[in-house]
């Protein structure tokens, strides 16, 4: 869950934000003038997102993943090839 913090609040509390991110796996949405501007999250979370986007960008893997999820939903699991 994203905690919302203003850009000013993030600037004044940056090191405590980093501590919370590392210790509690917190994520922050930074706003400017009340509108979302950026997200601060752990490097681990960022790496997972990057890996997911890389996989999603591969049409074959995306198709195979969607097909596998559909098969799981209907109870038909294909053997790993």
Q: Is 30 among the domain residues?
A: yes
**Residue 55 C-beta-side C-alpha neighbours within 13 Å:** 12
User: d(Cα 28, Cα 36) in Å, to the nearest integer?
Assistant: 10
78 falls within a domain: no
Sheet containing 2-6: give its strands across: 2-6, 27-32, 35-40
Residue 68: is its pLDDT beyond 80? Answer: no
Residue 61 belongs to some domain of the structure: yes
Domain span including residue 64:
44-73
Is residue 25 in a domain? yes
- If asked whether residues 30 and 49 sit together in one domain, one would say no
pLDDT digits (tens, 9 = 90+) for 7-59: 999 999 999 999 999 999 999 999 999 999 999 999 999 999 998 888 778 77
* Residue 30 bridge partners (DSSP): 5, 38
Predicted local confidence at residue 79, as pLDDT? 65
49 domain-assigned: yes
First to last CA, the chain: 37
């Amino acid at each position: 869950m994203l905690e919302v913090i203003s850009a000013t609040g993030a600037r004044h509390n940056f090191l405590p934000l980093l501590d919370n991110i590392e210790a509690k796996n917190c994520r922050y949405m930074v706003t400017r003038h009340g509108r979302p501007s950026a997200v601060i999250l752990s490097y681990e979370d960022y790496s997972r997102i990057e890996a997911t986007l890389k996989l999603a960008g591969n049409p074959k893997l995306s198709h195979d993943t969607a097909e596998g999820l559909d098969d799981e939903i209907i109870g038909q699991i294909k053997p790993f090839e």
